Amino acid sequence: MDASVSFSDATVTDGVCATQERRRHLSKGMSIIAAAGREGHKVEKNSYAGKSIAVFTSGGDAQGMNPAVRAVVRFAIYVGAKAFLIREGYQGMVDGGDNIVEAHWKSVSDIIQRGGTIIGSARCKEFREREGRKKAAYNLIQKNITNLVVIGGDGSLTGANMFRQEWSGLLADLVKEEKITQAQADKCMHLNIVGMVGSIDNDFCGTDMTIGTDSALHRIIESVDAIATTASSHQRCFILEVMGRHCGYLALVAALASEADWVFIPEWPPEHGWEDVLCSKLANERVMGQRLNIVIIAEGAIDMAGKAITANGVQKLITDRLKYDTRVTVLGHVQRGGSPSAFDRVLGCRMGAEAVLALMEATQDTPPCVVSLDGNQTVRVPLMHCVDKTRGVQKAMDEKNFELAVQLRGRSFQNNLNMYRKLSKLKPPKSVCDATGHSITVPFNLGVMNVGAPACGMNAVMRSFVRLGLTQGYSVLGIHGGWEGLANGEVLPMSWTEVQGWSGKGGSFLGTKRTLPDKVGYAKVAAQLKKHKIHGLLCIGGFEAYNSILQLSQKRSEFPEFCIPAIVIPATISNNVPGTDFSLGADTALNEIADICDRIKQSATGTKRRVFVIETMGGFCGYLATLSGLAGGADQAYIFEEHFEIKDLQADVAHLGTKIADGIQRGLIIRNEKANSNYTTDFIHQLYTEEGKGIFSCRKNVLGHMQQGGVPSPFDRNMATKQGGKAVDFLIEKIQENKRDDGTVYTDDIDTAVLLGLVKRQSVFTPVEELSEETDFTHRIPKDQWWLKLRPLLRILAKHESTYEVEGVEVESDSEVD
């Protein structure tokens, strides 16, 4: 089940226009080696009986480590291996004794929602010496452990690799010293290592996201949102220092998601004279009516000369020059705290399962690898290749080769930086906008509207779209109330300042309705498009938005007004739109569900043996139910796509009864709202209540519109902002290609009515008419849904009988996984 999985920032390359055939081959951009019998094949229960695996966490803690530990233990048990927990990291390995304990199913119960690491993490000077590593080897051999899962940063992973390289020599020394027998040495002659990167900084090259990064972004954005209200009340300027001694990812993405006025990061120092530019920008923003200013600084920020830029230094600059009431907030370890986000929980589950599988398949010649995230696919990449590349970033910064440093960070980092620089402009050029921020009369107009149910991220798209459209000299017209609003002429020009602060707001400020063009009347829609001279159209929304543009595309032969470039940006919590792996709003909804489920389970802390039945939204799409089930540690998730019968329900009741009789205190059942018309939430609740008598009690909760509410998650803000920019570029390109001498735009090419989706690791523009062939219109879902392959993992981690489908692939050492 993928991280949003979101997800916080899946790597996105520049958008491409893709046909069905091309989209099937997007993943071939990297040099991927699929091991024999991997993708789509099965891993049977107890298929690796007799082996042993140990897992430990090292270095700084990160939210998401506990879900990863839980997944390693439970998946190891599933494949028949013994699972061990090593407490206190390398120190526990050196000390041995009770620090290395066998783990059972219940050992990792009720930890998926907990931050930090329950097995502890500690720095260990002793392990840096050979004698310390010899002690560690001795302690592992006593438990017959020759497979290690390391969860930590590049230092921890490098230490594990050194340990592996010395293993045979360490064993020889132990035999010579008569601490172990030759038979023991022969039995444990090879040590296999697999790493998972746990670091909130996202500073490891070779993976899109490290465990803990998304959760840290949640803490930062929560803090910025809270500070913004008090800053606005008193017209203050706030300087926020965030973690990132050597990597500016947290600061950069937080700045992009929070509309910060300025950001300082180590990879891209400000140019000489930045002090004047910063003060001028802040002063002009106050003149334009902005009541607050936010500046975000990574703790490792430097200037072009390599001199540190500090929060207190920037505060003094602003106070001395502008006389603003300026405050400093250092977030510190708040960023490491709290519960892991839904993304980090799912990421930990997926990586943990893949790490176990990588170890089980390893041979003496298999190089140590890191389980990483590539788009929405788990992959295995050579450990030391990633470590060397990560260290290359610091080397480039030390040499003041900042362009290379940004390049080595990967395309996601570059895209974030480029988008922030575009949107950080104070105002559009005077040649295209007046003093109020409205467009001066220009030859071409871009229209933007919302269609369908509201979803978090809609407003962030509009802010990016409006500002970048105005910057490039186009007028942007806001269409209020969807297609009904357009038919009624509710079309108004949008200004630069109007969209200030929209990124962090939920709902839809333009208003949105589900009505489609065919119900409003094609003729009315065509008349209004012509009246307002709309030359390009952005439609933001869910299945209705996709269906709307499809209807217009299919009616182009009858209505020339529809022959304009049009684009859909999927925004729906259901994530049921074809042509994209993720829709805006889905990540926010998953976090809301995970948080609510945590509180519901906590409510039963003092009540033994209780099962909760939770109903989620999603229509016929089981994405929310499945992903929230994985993130919440659910025992089962019932969805429409996976048929179930009364005997399955009875088996699940019996399964829960067995677990609870074995000491598990609480159970969680998720049901998608349209999973089955007969087996309703009430029916399932009553069934569990009746069949569980004497074993457990049962309660039900229908979450309803709480899933649509709240403020957008960092992932949704970031993705929305970048997609708004890509939509502007697409429409302008197509307008310029298809403009006519009379000032109109005409195109009936199917490639000009598209949906902008996130597919694997690319933003892809797919013609809606092609997508119609991949759509189940009756149930409003795609015919092929990538996340269904994660269903077995949910059941396995809940101790059901199931068969795991392998999803990981190996990546060559010279592949670029950014």
Burial class (CB in 10 A: 0-12, 13-18, 19+), 60: buried
How far, rounded to the nearest angstrom, does the alpha carbon of residue 220 sit from its chain's CA centroid?
Answer: 15
The secondary structure of 464-510 as a DSSP string is HHHHHHHHTT-EEEEETTHHHHHHTT-EEE--TGGGTTGGG--S-TT
**pLDDT tens figures, 668-692:** 999 999 999 999 999 999 999 999 9
Pick the closest to residue 193 from 154, 147, 225, 156 (CA basis).
147
Question: Does 124 show up as a binding residue in the annotation?
Answer: yes
Q: Concatenated DSSP letters for 758-811?
A: EETTEEEEEEHHHHGGGEETTTTEES--GGGGGHHHHHHHTT----EEP--EEE
Confidence (pLDDT) at 609: 87
Q: Is 305 helix (H, G, I), strand (E, B) or coil?
A: coil
Helix, strand, or coil (residue 308): strand
199 is in an annotated binding site: yes
Clarify whether 201 is annotated catalytic.
yes
Q: What is the pLDDT of residue 709?
A: 77
Token pair of 53, please? 């695996």
- Cα separation values, 562 from 15, 450, 481, 554, 558, Å: 24, 17, 19, 9, 9
Using CA atoms, how far apart are residues 557 and 749, in angstroms rounded to an integer? 11
User: Has 576 been labeled as part of a binding site?
Assistant: yes
Average pLDDT over the chain, rounded to an integer = 90
Q: What are 152's strand-pairing partners?
A: 197
Tokens 């010649």 -> residue? 365
Say what the pLDDT of residue 804 is. 57
* Residue 666 in marked binding region: no
Q: Residue 139, annotated ligand binder?
A: no
Confidence class for position 34, pLDDT limits 50, 70, 90: very low
SS3 215: helix
- How far, in Å, are 207, 243, 762 from residue 408 at the CA level? 12, 20, 18
Residue that has been written with the tokens 């970033």 in this structure: 393
Question: Which residues make Cβ contacts (< 8 Å) with residue 749, sequence separation at least 6?
Answer: 738
Burial of 739 (0-12, 13-18, 19+ CB in 10 A): middle
Strands 753-759 and 762-767: antiparallel
The pLDDT tens digits of the residues spanning 452-490 come to 999 999 999 999 999 999 999 899 999 999 999 999 999
**Confidence class for position 799, pLDDT limits 50, 70, 90:** confident
350 annotated as a binding-site residue: no
Token duo for residue 688: 């569990």
599 is in an annotated binding site: no
Between strands 326-330 and 293-298, the pairing is unpaired
Q: What is the pLDDT of residue 16?
A: 53
3-state secondary structure 137-178: HHHHHHCCCCEEEEEECHHHHHHHHHHHHHHHHHHHHHHHCC
| pTM of the complete model | 0.92
327 labeled part of a ligand binding site: yes
Catalytic choice (9, 201, 652, 818): 201
Buried b (16+ CB within 10 A) or exposed e, 84-97: bbbbbbbbbbbbbe
Q: What is the dihedral of CA 776, 781, 783, 787, to 10 degrees?
A: -170
Tokens of residue 306, six digits: 């390599």
Q: What is the largest CA-CA distance in the chain?
A: 93
Which residues make beta-bridge pairs with 476?
446
Amino acid at 760: K
**CA angle in degrees (0–180, nearest 5) for 42-788-74:** 55
236 against 463, higher pLDDT:
463
Q: What is the pLDDT of residues 111-121, one digit of tens each?
A: 999 999 999 99
pLDDT in tens, 353-374: 999 999 999 998 899 999 988 8
Q: Please, which residues bridge with residue 451 across strands?
A: 513, 541
- Per the CB < 8 A criterion, the answer to whether 134 and 170 are in contact is yes
User: Cα dihedral angle (220, 717, 285, 234), rounded to 10 degrees?
Assistant: -50
Burial letters 781-815, b for 16+ CB under 10 A, else e: bbeebbbbbbbbbbbbbbbbebebbbbbbbbeeeb
Whether the pLDDT of residue 803 is over 70: the answer is no
Q: Please check the confidence at residue 817 and state whether its pLDDT lies above 70.
A: no
